[in-house]
């Protein structure tokens, strides 16, 4: 506080200012306390006695008019609001706005008041003796207040025979403020301590510490509004009601001021700069500092010629330091006209920026003349370069850009080494129970290789990144992408038991078939009556098992027809040529006419199991043969190496003469390993026009005839089970994989197929005028000749039968 505040001789009293729409508003009180254990200059100068409250609790005393304050201090209205009359029923407590955590320190009421410095106490007023009240009257309320600490206690005494509740609740809010200038006003809110509603007997402590400003204790019979952020003056912006104005027992006003404590901020102004006139046809100038929150700058003069003054003024509460009396004065001189000089136009220089590695840029600077000097700033090869021109007096330049010509030639950069990445190698999955693989090139000093994917299945990508400063060449955009296919486990392989048949060999008898019993992996089925005629036994694997060593179509037996015995029977002789043949050799033909080659007779994956040999049985009339009980249906029977028994049986009504049984040996030492090699094929069909509409493209795969399940096809990573699959235009990888791990695919079984884009125009059939029912081709969206449309239609109507044959390279003649 400055000296004029300390010299105040009267207190600033509360001003009753009604705010529209506010509920019981309050503000700071400026009346100094009437008594204090320790008085401050402000407290002493502003002390003024309060009017003793009336004995009646329903009225608040009027505030005493303060002595006239010096004109420097803010005026205060002398009025105070009366307290509200008590009601028979206590008013409900209302919520008080919470105190901001950053600016307030709440003090909860305690059972006994905190000790205060020199508290001023007063005896409670004696209430008029009346009948026992239904509620506790205000006469039971008293308070103490210590102005030096801005705190005290409110005491509510118990009244015998009462309800134990005040007739009206009491609300108390302690607030402290801080000075913001070297005068009283305005003040900023500092600490707020709002007590809960006081309704029952007890001792309630209140207080808000004052650091440098004013302390106020507000009160009311309804919730006291939360103090605003700034107190501009007494009762501004809201009406003030202090605890001391409520008419309770107590001494001294509940408002206090701290001693002088405010120190205004000191600010140093910036010195303006001036540029006097130094050339003809030019003005001078003054750079006036920009205004700040604490300093206003003012220029007196035109800022171009003559005498000019710049002054600075501090914005309260700041004060200036280091400021010359009267400000800063500058004489910019007087403007004068230049004589007419010769005018010359400089030549524009040319520049060549750097556009390639290992090269410099260049600038062609014009040669100096008798009237112009040219200057190059920069090395003329790289970076920023500026060419300036200067007229040689008295010549002046025309058509000259301010600052000259500036060129950015760029930075020289050396040519990076060019490296070619190594192409990775991928192995695609072609057999069950196996993974694919990718051989990623090893990183080098100039190339980093990265594999995206697991390197075993599905889509995998290998990318290469050059290590600076190297750059790549011969590198496909996006790297190398491989579809390794999906791993699939090998199904369990089971070998079915061969059924045995007893063929009718004598008249008056039936044949029979011994069908193997079903197992957990194989179901057997007999088709036929099992006694006569053609009978077939088939075996079906129970998924996931697959069969091996199973003849296509199963086992077929002709048991013959039952006949009655003739009297006497006719005699027949079995064939003399029943022999075991050796295994096939390179160049030999199989039974179906195909020629075997050496590579088809060997299998590096299976060098143990030999291929089949054969048994030759010459046919004879009325005689049937079995090999180990199996009927012989062909002159040559393919068999694996081993020992076999061939039995001849005469037809019914005939008797066999001579040899009827032979034991034959097929030597495994003479036979090569066996395996099944399957042919596979796949082709693409492009989209075409069919009857005016576009027929989509497709991919066709060929399954082996009679053994369709032996070969699996995949388009990309998707397995297909039908011969024809519709696809969108594009390039596809088709793989054929044998279902049996011991088999193989002739030719590798990998096909890269491309389906072209759909045609842009189509042909439709129309009727030839005058010839009903005779169609011709009309173009739709195309200028194609009708003959071409007919040809396209015929291509679509034609179909090519595709067959695949399983070659069992274990058989030969």
What tens digit of pLDDT does each residue of 781-813 get? 333 333 333 333 333 333 232 222 333 333 322
Residue 105: predicted pLDDT? 34
| Dist. CA 500–CA 605, nearest whole Å | 33
* Residues in CB range of 110: below 8 A, 6 or more apart: 203, 205
pLDDT in tens, 366-413: 999 999 999 999 999 999 999 999 999 889 999 999 999 999 999 998
User: What percent of the chain stands above pLDDT 90?
Assistant: 46
CA angle 140, 146, 148 (to 5 degrees): 165
| pLDDT band at residue 607 using 50, 70 and 90 as cut-offs | very low
Residue 542: predicted pLDDT? 93
Q: Tell me the pairing of strands 437-439 and 447-452.
A: unpaired
| Dist. CA 729–CA 614, nearest whole Å | 51
pLDDT in tens, 703-724: 988 778 889 999 998 999 899 9
**pTM exceeds 0.75 for this model:** no
Residue 44: predicted pLDDT? 31
Residue 688: predicted pLDDT? 86
CA angle 20, 57, 196 (to 5 degrees): 60
| Dist. CA 767–CA 223, nearest whole Å | 100
Residue 179: predicted pLDDT? 84
Highest mean pLDDT pick, 445-459, 571-585, 649-663, 739-753: 445-459
Q: Compute the average pLDDT of residues 220-242.
A: 87
User: What percent of the chain stands above pLDDT 70?
Assistant: 70
pLDDT in tens, 87-142: 333 333 333 333 333 333 333 333 333 333 344 344 444 445 556 569 999 989 99
Residue 584: predicted pLDDT? 54
Burial state string for 416-448 with b = 16 or more CB within 10 A and e = fewer than 16: eeebebeebebebbbbbebebbbebeeeeebbe
Q: Compute the average pLDDT of residues 561-571.
A: 74
Average pLDDT, the chain: 75
| pLDDT band at residue 4 using 50, 70 and 90 as cut-offs | very low
At 793 the three-state DSSP class reads helix
Residue 642 region by backbone torsions, left for phi larger than 0, else alpha for psi between -120 and 50, else beta = left
| Dist. CA 183–CA 768, nearest whole Å | 112
Helix or strand (DSSP H, E) at 13 = none
Residue 786: predicted pLDDT? 36
Residue 485: predicted pLDDT? 95
| pLDDT band at residue 600 using 50, 70 and 90 as cut-offs | very low
Q: How many residues in the chain?
A: 813
Residue 578: predicted pLDDT? 76
Q: Compute the average pLDDT of residues 227-251.
A: 84
| pLDDT band at residue 588 using 50, 70 and 90 as cut-offs | very low
Residue 604: predicted pLDDT? 39
Q: How far is CA 171 from CA 53, 147, 217, 221, 669, in A?
A: 19, 20, 10, 6, 118
* Residues in CB range of 288: below 8 A, 6 or more apart: 272, 297, 299, 303, 310
At 261 the three-state DSSP class reads coil
Residue 466: predicted pLDDT? 95
| Dist. CA 275–CA 296, nearest whole Å | 22
Range scoring the smallest mean pLDDT among 341-345, 495-499, 595-599:
595-599
Residue 51: predicted pLDDT? 33
Query: Residue 587 pLDDT > 90, yes or no?
Result: no
Higher pLDDT, 392 or 641: 392
Q: Tell me the pairing of strands 471-472 and 418-419.
A: parallel
List phi, psi (to 5°) of 532: -140, 165
At 163 the three-state DSSP class reads coil
Nearest to 721 by CA among 739, 738, 708, 734: 708
For the purposes of burial, counting CB atoms within 10 Å of the CB of 170, is it exposed (0-12), middle (13-18) or buried (19 or more)?
A: buried
Range scoring the smallest mean pLDDT among 52-56, 558-562, 632-636, 726-730:
52-56
3-state helix, strand, coil in the chain (%, to 5): 5, 35, 60
Query: Residue 677 pLDDT > 60, yes or no?
Result: yes
* Residues in CB range of 214: below 8 A, 6 or more apart: 28, 30, 176, 177, 184, 187, 231, 255, 256, 257, 258
| Maximal C-alpha separation, the chain | 168
Range scoring the smallest mean pLDDT among 374-378, 548-552, 572-576:
572-576
pLDDT in tens, 317-356: 678 999 999 999 999 999 988 878 899 999 999 999 999 9
Residue 611: predicted pLDDT? 59
Residue 610: predicted pLDDT? 56
Residue 569: predicted pLDDT? 61
Residue 453: predicted pLDDT? 96
pLDDT in tens, 259-288: 567 677 789 999 999 999 999 889 999 999
Nearest to 154 by CA among 166, 167, 163, 141: 141
List phi, psi (to 5°) of 295: -140, 135
Q: Compute the average pLDDT of residues 246-260.
A: 73
Query: Residue 180 pLDDT > 60, yes or no?
Result: yes
pLDDT in tens, 40-96: 333 333 333 333 333 333 333 333 333 333 333 333 333 333 333 333 333 333 333
Contact by Cβ (8 Å): 332, 277: yes
Residue 802: predicted pLDDT? 29
Residue 263: predicted pLDDT? 73
Q: Compute the average pLDDT of residues 452-472.
A: 95
Query: Residue 511 pLDDT > 90, yes or no?
Result: yes
């Amino acid at each position: 506080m400055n000296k004029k505040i300390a010299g105040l001789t009267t207190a600033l009293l509360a001003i009753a200012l009604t705010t529209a729409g506010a509920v019981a508003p309050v503000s700071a009180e400026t009346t100094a306390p009437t008594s204090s254990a320790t008085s401050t200059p402000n407290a002493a100068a502003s002390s003024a006695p309060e009017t003793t409250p009336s004995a009646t609790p329903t009225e608040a005393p009027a505030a005493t008019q303060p002595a006239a304050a010096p004109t420097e201090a803010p005026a205060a209205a002398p009025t105070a609001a009366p307290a509200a009359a008590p009601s028979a029923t206590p008013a409900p407590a209302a919520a008080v706005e919470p105190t901001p955590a950053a600016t307030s320190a709440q003090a909860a009421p305690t059972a006994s008041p905190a000790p205060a410095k020199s508290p001023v106490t007063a005896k409670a007023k004696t209430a008029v003796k009346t009948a026992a009240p239904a509620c506790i009257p205000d006469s039971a309320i008293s308070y103490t207040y210590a102005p030096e600490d801005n705190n005290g206690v409110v005491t509510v005494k118990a009244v015998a025979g009462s309800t134990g509740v005040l007739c009206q609740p009491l609300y108390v809010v302690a607030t402290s403020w801080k000075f913001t200038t070297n005068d009283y006003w305005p003040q900023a809110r500092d600490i707020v301590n709002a007590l809960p509603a006081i309704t029952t007997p007890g001792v309630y402590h209140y207080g808000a510490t004052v650091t440098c400003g004013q302390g106020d204790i507000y009160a009311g019979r309804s919730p006291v509004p939360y103090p605003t952020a700034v107190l501009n003056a007494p009762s501004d912006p809201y009406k003030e009601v202090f605890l001391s104005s409520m008419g309770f027992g107590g001494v001294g006003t509940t408002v206090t001021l701290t001693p002088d404590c405010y120190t205004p901020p000191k600010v140093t102004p910036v010195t303006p700069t001036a540029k006097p006139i130094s050339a003809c046809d030019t003005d001078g100038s003054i750079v006036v500092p920009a205004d700040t929150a604490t300093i206003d700058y003012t220029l007196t003069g035109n800022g171009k010629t003559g005498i000019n003054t710049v002054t600075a003024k501090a914005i309260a509460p700041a004060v200036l330091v280091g400021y010359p009396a009267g400000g800063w004065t500058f004489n910019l001189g007087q403007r004068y006209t230049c004589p007419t000089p010769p005018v010359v136009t400089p030549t524009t220089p040319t520049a060549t920026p750097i556009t390639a590695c290992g090269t410099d840029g260049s600038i062609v600077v014009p040669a100096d003349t008798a009237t112009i000097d040219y200057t190059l700033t920069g090395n003329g090869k790289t970076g920023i370069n500026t060419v300036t021109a200067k007229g040689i007096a008295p010549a002046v330049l025309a058509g000259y850009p301010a600052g000259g010509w500036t060129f950015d030639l760029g930075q020289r950069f050396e040519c990076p080494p060019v490296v070619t990445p190594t192409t990775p190698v991928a192995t695609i999955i072609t057999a069950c129970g196996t993974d694919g693989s990718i051989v990623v090139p090893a990183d080098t000093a100039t190339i980093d290789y990265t594999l995206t994917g697991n390197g075993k299945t599905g889509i995998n990508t290998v990318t290469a990144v050059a290590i600076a400063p190297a750059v790549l060449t011969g590198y496909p955009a996006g790297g190398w992408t491989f579809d390794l296919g999906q791993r699939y486990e090998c199904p369990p392989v089971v070998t079915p038991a061969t059924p045995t048949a007893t063929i009718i060999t004598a008249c008056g008898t039936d044949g029979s078939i011994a069908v193997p019993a079903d197992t957990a992996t194989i179901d057997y089925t007999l088709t036929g009556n099992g006694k006569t005629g053609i009978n077939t036994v088939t075996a079906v694997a129970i998924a996931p098992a697959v069969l091996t060593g199973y003849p296509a179509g199963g086992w077929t037996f002709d048991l013959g027809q039952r006949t009655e015995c003739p009297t006497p029977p006719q005699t027949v002789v079995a064939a003399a040529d029943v022999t075991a043949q050796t295994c096939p050799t390179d160049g030999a033909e199989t039974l179906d006419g195909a020629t075997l080659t050496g590579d088809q007779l060997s299998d590096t994956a299976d060098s143990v199991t030999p291929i089949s040999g054969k048994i030759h049985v010459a046919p004879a009339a009325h005689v049937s043969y079995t090999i180990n009980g199996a009927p012989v249906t062909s002159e040559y029977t393919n068999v694996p190496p081993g020992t076999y028994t061939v039995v001849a049986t005469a037809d019914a009504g005939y008797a066999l003469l001579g040899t009827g049984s032979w034991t034959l040996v097929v030597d495994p030492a003479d036979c090569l390993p066996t395996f099944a090699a399957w042919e596979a094929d796949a082709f693409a069909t492009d989209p075409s026009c069919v009857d005016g509409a576009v027929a989509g493209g497709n991919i066709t795969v060929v399954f082996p005839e009679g053994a369709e399940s032996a070969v699996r096809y995949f388009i990309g990573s998707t397995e297909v089970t039908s011969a024809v699959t519709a696809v969108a235009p594009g390039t596809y990888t088709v793989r054929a994989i044998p279902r049996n791990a011991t088999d193989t695919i002739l030719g590798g079984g990998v096909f890269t197929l491309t389906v072209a884009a759909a045609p842009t125009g189509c042909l439709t059939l129309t009727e030839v005028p005058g010839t009903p029912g005779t169609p011709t081709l009309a173009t739709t969206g195309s200028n194609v000749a009708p003959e071409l449309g007919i040809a396209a239609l015929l291509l679509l109507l034609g179909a090519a039968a595709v067959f695949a044959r399983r070659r069992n390279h274990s058989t030969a003649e």
